[in-house]
């Protein structure tokens, strides 16, 4: 009998609703257990297979063996059979008697340190000016500051490279100003070219977070500092600078992380082993056949080197994403 | 006092009042201590910086119209590197032509796959708690933070070792790699928007009798459209410009997109046709950015969260 069935159905339905209402009262809105996980599932599976698993393969290649005849890497996927000989081999190139990568490592640290400090000094000045004195032009300034992020990094380097050729406009300009007597080969292994290239490439990533924080500083605090007798310098050192400390740290990390993995700036602006950086070693080892273990060990080493800044950045990104 | 707008005029108005003080003081020290002096030095640095950051690119665009082979000496205006030259111009060189198409193919497919994945992930993770969720969240953020070369090498070793006999390097690994790298952008943008929306609208919908799915589809999704659209634009622009991951995962020369070709050409002997190719990519991303800003502005009109342009800008920081 359909009516009775419907009645039973509706009674069951009522019972269900009553239970749901009870749970709702306890937990807020009620959802089936699997409901939200099912939204996140596709991307979670994607990340597991194409991000986590590849890093396991990196470890398997790094701690695996090499084919005795062809010298091909033979990854070992069973982690209980892993051996560290390849990794130790690579690590010894950085430290010890036969450390032929050590100069590259030291050079990388130097270049990154100088370039990121230059980014900070120039970037802070620009961010400070736009945040404090931008006035009606602030929107225009912001567009101009963000524009480089939308321009391909390669194109910016390529543009810079064209200007620096020996018959390029930079040499013309410097000769016109009588700074130099004859054209300089800027593109042949000059550290200054590479460092300025790195600054040119990454400085927008420094300016924007600093600008963001400086813009949020309550102007009343600055006026209070002034009212209490502090001059502009004291106000800056005692009020503005401490309030922008976090942005400085964030900017430094955002800028240094990619610099450590950068090989293209060097390739386009120098291409000489005299200025090669860690990224260049990794890049050349990836391209050469049979150098998988070397590339893997270098990647693992780079990750170890970047562990602390990455951890800090991860924590602050997580906080920013979750707190808004 | 409204902290963003009100103080600015007070600063700008004060120089007149302070001018006598400034006039009587002499020497660098006094002038330096004057809080109302115009920041000429900082202004100079800022304008120099802006010129330095924009001009080289503008000059590179200009040289795509050079009539000679050089990309550094101006020899007059011509369209030969765009359309004129029957072999080496962007329009006629089959290599550049195919590379441009490959660029668009990769970035459009990446955008279509990565943004829905990232959006769903962001919604799910906003409400799903537990160990698996925390792990997935961590991996996602890690993929955002890692230098791209590390992800590139990891994917390269993954495809050339574990999947050696499954799929050869080329378009498919390139897309899989790009999507992996780009999901996190969509996640971060959508989660920021979810936070600014809050849970109120959804709860109201469910109080009015909507099922969870109806609440998501009819209430939450429309509110998320601006963020989803912004992620489409950002992911597209970023994957058109990408060359690190794509280069490691490219197989035959035909699978190399324009960015990789530009990289190779820039290290050899580039002609202004390379400038033209780069200009096309530049125009594409700038167009996408402009479109993104416009649509974002229209879509968020009259909603809480304030200035749309500012929000769109802040997405990129």
- Residue B25 confidence (pLDDT): 44
Average pLDDT over residues B205-213: 83
- How far is the C-alpha of A258 from the C-alpha of B172, rounded, in Å? 26
User: Nearest CB to A155: which of B57, B70, B202?
Assistant: B57
Q: Does A228 touch chain B (CB under 8 A)?
A: no
Instruction: For B138-190, write each residue's pLDDT tens digit.
Output: 899 888 888 999 999 999 999 998 888 888 899 999 999 999 999 999 998 89
The DSSP secondary structure of A29-92, one letter per residue, reads S---TTHHHHHHHHHHHHHIIIIIHHHHHHHHHHTSEE-TTT--EE----GGG---HHHHHHHT
- Residue A11 confidence (pLDDT): 77
Judge contact between A293 and A62, C-beta under 8 A: yes
- Residue B21 confidence (pLDDT): 44
CB contact under 8 A, B49 and A126: yes
Q: Does A48 touch chain B (CB under 8 A)?
A: yes
Instruction: For A185-215, write each residue's pLDDT tens digit.
Output: 888 888 999 999 999 999 999 999 899 889 8
- How far is the C-alpha of A76 from the C-alpha of B237, rounded, in Å? 38
Residue-wise pLDDT tens for chain A (324 aa)? 455 555 556 777 888 777 777 666 554 556 777 888 889 999 999 999 999 999 999 999 889 887 777 777 788 888 888 888 888 888 888 887 888 899 999 999 999 999 999 999 999 999 999 998 888 888 889 889 988 888 999 999 999 988 988 888 888 888 888 888 888 888 888 899 999 999 999 999 999 989 988 988 888 888 888 888 888 888 888 888 998 988 899 899 989 999 999 999 999 998 888 899 999 999 999 878 778 888 999 999 999 999 888 888 888 777 776 665
In A81-120, the residues whose Cβ lies within 8 Å of chain B are none
Q: Which residues in A lie closer than 8 A to residue B180 (C-beta atoms)?
A: 46-47, 50-51
**Hey, what are A34's tokens?**
């699997």
User: Nearest CB to B35: which of A148, A226, A292?
Assistant: A226
**What is the model's pTM?**
0.84
Q: Which residue of A has its CA nearest to B8?
A: A135
pLDDT of B105 higher than 80:
yes
- How far is the C-alpha of A287 from the C-alpha of A172, rounded, in Å? 37
From A285's Cα to the closest Cα of chain B, the distance in A is: 10
ipTM of the complex: 0.85
CB contact under 8 A, A122 and B49: yes
- Neighbour tally for A39: CB within 10 Å: 21
Buried b (16+ CB within 10 A) or exposed e, A5-15: eeeeeeeeeee
Q: Does A40 touch chain B (CB under 8 A)?
A: yes
Q: Which residues in B lie closer than 8 A to residue A57 (C-beta atoms)?
A: 154, 157-158, 161-162
Instruction: For B239-277, write each residue's pLDDT tens digit.
Output: 999 999 999 999 888 899 999 999 988 888 788 888 888
User: Nearest CB to A40: which of B4, B124, B263?
Assistant: B124
Coil, strand or helix at B73: coil
- Residue B274 confidence (pLDDT): 87
Q: Which residues in A lie closer than 8 A to residue B150 (C-beta atoms)?
A: 261, 299, 302-303
Size of interface A-B (CB pairs under 8 A): 296
From A310's Cα to the closest Cα of chain B, the distance in A is: 7
Instruction: For B278-298, write each residue's pLDDT tens digit.
Output: 999 999 998 988 888 888 778
Judge contact between A76 and A65, C-beta under 8 A: yes
């Amino acid at each position: 009998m359909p009516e009775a069935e419907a009645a039973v159905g509706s009674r069951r339905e009522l019972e269900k609703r009553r239970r749901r209402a009870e749970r709702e009262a306890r937990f807020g809105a009620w959802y089936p257990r699997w409901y939200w996980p099912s939204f996140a599932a596709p991307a979670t599976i994607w990340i597991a297979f194409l991000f986590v698993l590849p890093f396991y393969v990196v470890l398997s290649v790094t701690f695996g063996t090499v084919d005795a005849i062809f010298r091909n890497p033979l990854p070992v996927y069973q982690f209980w059979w892993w051996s560290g000989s390849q990794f130790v081999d690579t690590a010894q190139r950085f430290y010890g008697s036969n450390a032929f990568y050590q100069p590259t490592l030291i050079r990388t640290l130097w270049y990154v340190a100088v370039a990121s400090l230059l980014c900070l000094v120039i970037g802070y000045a620009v961010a400070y000016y736009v945040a404090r004195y931008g006035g009606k032009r602030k929107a225009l300034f912001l567009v101009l500051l963000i524009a480089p992020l939308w321009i391909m990094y390669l194109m910016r380097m390529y543009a810079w490279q064209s200007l620096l050729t020996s018959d390029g406009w930079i040499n013309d300009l410097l000769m016109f100003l009588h700074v130099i007597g004859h054209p300089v080969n800027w593109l042949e292994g000059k550290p200054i070219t590479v460092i300025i290239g790195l600054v040119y490439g990454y400085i927008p990533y420094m300016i924007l977070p600093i600008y963001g924080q400086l813009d949020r500083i309550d102007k009343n605090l600055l006026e209070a500092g002034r009212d209490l007798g502090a001059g502009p310098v004291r106000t800056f050192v005692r009020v503005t600078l401490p309030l922008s400390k976090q942005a400085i740290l964030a900017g430094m990390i955002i800028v240094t992380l990619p610099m450590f993995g950068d090989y293209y700036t060097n390739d386009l602006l120098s291409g000489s082993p005299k200025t090669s950086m860690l990224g260049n070693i990794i890049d050349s080892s990836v391209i050469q056949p049979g150098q998988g273990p070397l590339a893997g060990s270098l990647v693992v080493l780079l990750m170890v080197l970047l562990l602390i800044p990455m951890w800090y950045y991860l924590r602050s990104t997580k906080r920013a994403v979750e707190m808004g | 006092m409204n902290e963003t707008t009100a103080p600015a005029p007070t600063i700008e108005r004060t120089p007149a009042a302070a001018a006598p003080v400034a006039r009587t003081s002499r020497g660098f020290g006094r002038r330096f201590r004057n809080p109302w002096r115009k920041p000429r030095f900082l202004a100079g640095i800022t304008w120099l910086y802006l010129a330095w950051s924009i001009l080289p690119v503008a000059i590179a665009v200009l040289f795509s119209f050079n009539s000679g082979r050089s990309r550094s000496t101006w020899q007059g205006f011509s369209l030969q590197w765009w359309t004129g030259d029957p072999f080496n111009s962007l329009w006629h060189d089959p290599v550049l032509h195919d590379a441009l198409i490959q660029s668009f193919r990769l970035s459009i497919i990446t955008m279509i796959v990565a943004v829905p994945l990232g959006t769903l992930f962001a919604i799910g993770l906003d409400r799903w708690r537990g160990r698996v969720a925390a792990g997935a969240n961590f991996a996602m953020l890690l993929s955002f933070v890692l230098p791209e070369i590390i992800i590139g090498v990891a994917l390269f070793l993954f495809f050339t070792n574990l999947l050696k006999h499954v799929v050869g390097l080329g378009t498919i690994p390139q897309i899989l790699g790009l999507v992996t790298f780009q999901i996190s952008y969509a996640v971060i943008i959508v989660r920021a928007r979810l936070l600014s929306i809050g849970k109120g609208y959804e709860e109201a919908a469910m109080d009015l009798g909507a099922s969870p799915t109806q609440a998501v589809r009819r209430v939450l999704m429309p509110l998320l459209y601006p963020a989803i659209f912004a992620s489409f634009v950002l992911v597209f622009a970023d994957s058109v410009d990408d060359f690190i991951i794509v280069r490691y995962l490219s197989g035959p020369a035909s699978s190399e997109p324009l960015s990789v070709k530009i990289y190779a050409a820039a290290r050899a002997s580039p002609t202004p046709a390379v400038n033209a190719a780069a200009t096309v990519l530049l125009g594409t991303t700038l167009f996408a950015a402009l479109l993104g800003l416009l649509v974002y502005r229209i879509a968020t009109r009259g909603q809480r969260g304030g200035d749309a342009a500012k929000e769109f800008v802040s997405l990129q920081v």
